[in-house]
Amino acid sequence: MTLEARRIDDLFPREHLQPPGAEGRTVRIVAGGEAAVPDIPRGSWQRVFPLQHERQLIRARHSIYRAGDILEGIPVVHSGWAARIRRLSDGRRQILSFILPGDLVSAGAVFSDRLSFFVDAITDVRTTVCKRVPLDEILAQSPRLLHALMAGCLAEKTEVEELATDLGRRRAEERIARLFLQLRTRLEVLGQVSGMSFDMPLRQQHIADATGMTVIHVGRVLGALRNDGVVQINGGVLTIADLAALQRLSDA
Amino acid sequence: MTLEARRIDDLFPREHLQPPGAEGRTVRIVAGGEAAVPDIPRGSWQRVFPLQHERQLIRARHSIYRAGDILEGIPVVHSGWAARIRRLSDGRRQILSFILPGDLVSAGAVFSDRLSFFVDAITDVRTTVCKRVPLDEILAQSPRLLHALMAGCLAEKTEVEELATDLGRRRAEERIARLFLQLRTRLEVLGQVSGMSFDMPLRQQHIADATGMTVIHVGRVLGALRNDGVVQINGGVLTIADLAALQRLSDA
DNA sequence: CGTGGAGTTGACTGGTATCAATCCTTGTGG
DNA sequence: CCACAAGGATTGATACCAGTCAACTCCACG
């Protein structure tokens, strides 16, 4: 009963998502680094949520959705990175979460069609949209799936609560360290981490908007981390040089 | 379909909650200052969620629940103020939300029994606990209620996202102004605002933990607001002296 | 080549945190 | 009824983290 759905891996072909050979075609249920619970029967997602329309391409740095938009379906990011963002009228931005390949844009989208945030493409992004289905129909067809979806929704909420704690009570270095470790964990599940490095298309501005800092200060902290031999970013690749140190920073 | 349940007003007798005469005994659905949608048939909450045990008294400044606790039911705060809190190992604390009389401790508690946060009593608090009921049973007995509960859960998530934005991107004065306005809106629904004043049992430490500041700086900002004739707190009563100014501060 | 996005660096400012002392309030027990 | 303790609020002095402004470099790209 602790299923949590944020990623629906068998929602679409896995060219980018899965190393060949891994053919366990169950819905993979993953949340914030916790245990995967692969016991939803194969294909339950597609059976319950039929495809509404195929892939759509959004160019890097463009908005995918805007706050107030009414979703006609449940969007899933197929490839590329995106971000859920809140904007203030004077231009300040807070990134609420990063959306990686295979993620639902928001678990809440299964149950509600009104967005309270913006979704911006960071890299080029391909999306798929599935049909939203009434609650009772989901329940009838796959009770486990419904549970998993609701748990995913709760997990998303918990993650935002962690974010709020980071923003309110942790300092610059800690926040950046935690962001990097979180990204590594999530990308590891996707098989996109090789050793201590992974592709990281975020600009310093994205890191700043996610951690509640200014770009310039992000630059300084990153510089310090590089000098101290903890983390470095080179050509869009993040390399953790001293994992223990990074974990120490993110602790408490 | 935009029902949102966070407060279940007819869950218990209303001595403290409702001025006599207001006898519209429907479940009142309220969220973050948005429209109430009172169209759930009377008593649906009690029918679906039977009382598990009666009021329990928790003394001010004591913990009600701890992160990791397994809830045996769905707790509702009957009287008094409480707070949902995240703690770091070194003692830093972030308040995620305040729980006012009539609030569910967390809308998520209807669907999941594991807490990821602490719940502390700010004043003396009385709680009631209802039995948790399987999804399909709720759906069968009152589909509207289920929708309302899920919407309430999503609303709670949206509120935390707003909090994260406040913490990440707004400054001290803005955050405090927004907190006070939010409290006023919520208390107004409870009929606990008279003119421009309301009881506000929060200590400066609570305000600090909610806004991500230190007590001392909270004290300074409050002092400034008092000197500028915007807000003052006296003997546990908050009085808004200049609403327009307060709204200006909280804007953007 | 230019142009614009991105990163780096330095000097300076300012908002908050930290430490410490005092005072006020409230509750408690003698 | 008083004394005392504990919690809370206020104030001052000082330190430091992070924001602001500005200049410069480095690219990728057309």
Same domain, B194 and B107: no
The answer to whether residue A35 sits within a structural domain is: no
The answer to whether residue B34 sits within a structural domain is: no
Would you say residue A33 has pLDDT above 50? no
Backbone angles phi, psi at A104, to 5 degrees: -65, 145
The answer to whether residue A39 sits within a structural domain is: no
Same domain, B206 and B142: no
| Domain limits for position B218 | 8-23+171-250
Same domain, B86 and B176: no
Same domain, B224 and B160: no
Q: For chain A, how many helices (H) and strands (E)?
A: 7, 11
Q: Which of A114, A143, A166 is the last residue of a domain?
A: A166
Would you say residue A19 has pLDDT above 70? no
Both tokens assigned to A192: 């996109």
Same domain, A81 and A190: no
Domain count of the fold of chain B: 2
Q: What is the pLDDT of residue B111?
A: 92
Best probe of the B interface among A106, A161, A217, by most B CBs < 10 A, is A161
Best probe of the A interface among B158, B162, B171, by most A CBs < 10 A, is B158
The answer to whether residue A225 sits within a structural domain is: yes
Q: Which of A118, A148, A166 is the last residue of a domain?
A: A166
Would you say residue A54 has pLDDT above 90? no
- Which DSSP string corresponds to B83-103? EEEEE-TTS-EEEEEEE-TTB
Q: Note the CA–C1' distance, A216 to D22, in angstroms.
A: 13
Only one residue has tokens 């926040």, namely A175
Cβ-count burial of B219 within 10 angstroms (0-12 exposed, 13-18 middle, 19+ buried)?
Answer: middle
CA Rg, chain B, in Å?
Answer: 18
The answer to whether residue A52 sits within a structural domain is: yes
Percent of chain A with pLDDT over 90: 69
Distance, in Å, from the CA atom of B250 to the CA atom of B252, rounded to the nearest integer, reads 7
The answer to whether residue A86 sits within a structural domain is: yes
CA Rg, chain A, in Å?
Answer: 18
Give the confidence band of B42 by pLDDT, cuts at 50, 70, 90: low
Same domain, B117 and B228: no
Return the half-sphere exposure (C-beta side, CA atoms, 13 A cut-off) of residue A42: 3
Of B96, B146, B252, the CB nearest to A164: B96
* Cβ-based contacts of B156 with chain A (< 8 Å): 157
Same domain, B156 and B132: yes
Task: Output A11 or B117, whichever has higher pLDDT.
Answer: B117
Residues A89-103 have a mean pLDDT of: 94
Express each pLDDT in A106-156 by its tens digit: 999 999 999 999 999 999 999 999 999 998 899 888 888 888 899 999 999
Q: Note the CA–C1' distance, B244 to D12, in angstroms.
A: 32
Same domain, B12 and B50: no
The answer to whether residue A31 sits within a structural domain is: no
pTM: 0.88
Same domain, B77 and B185: no
Same domain, B106 and B134: yes
Q: Which of B97, B192, B95 is nearest to B153 (CA)?
A: B97
Q: What is the CATH number of the domain that holds B15?
A: 1.10.10.10
Distance, in Å, from the CA atom of B14 to the CA atom of A48, rounded to the nearest integer, reads 43
Would you say residue B190 has pLDDT above 70? yes
* Conformation bin of residue B29: beta by default, left when phi > 0, alpha when psi is -120 to 50: beta
Q: Which of B114, B135, B166 is the last residue of a domain?
A: B166
Distance, in Å, from the CA atom of B248 to the CA atom of B251, rounded to the nearest integer, reads 5
Report yes or no: B130 and A126 within 8 Å, Cβ to Cβ.
no
Residues B91-111 have a mean pLDDT of: 94
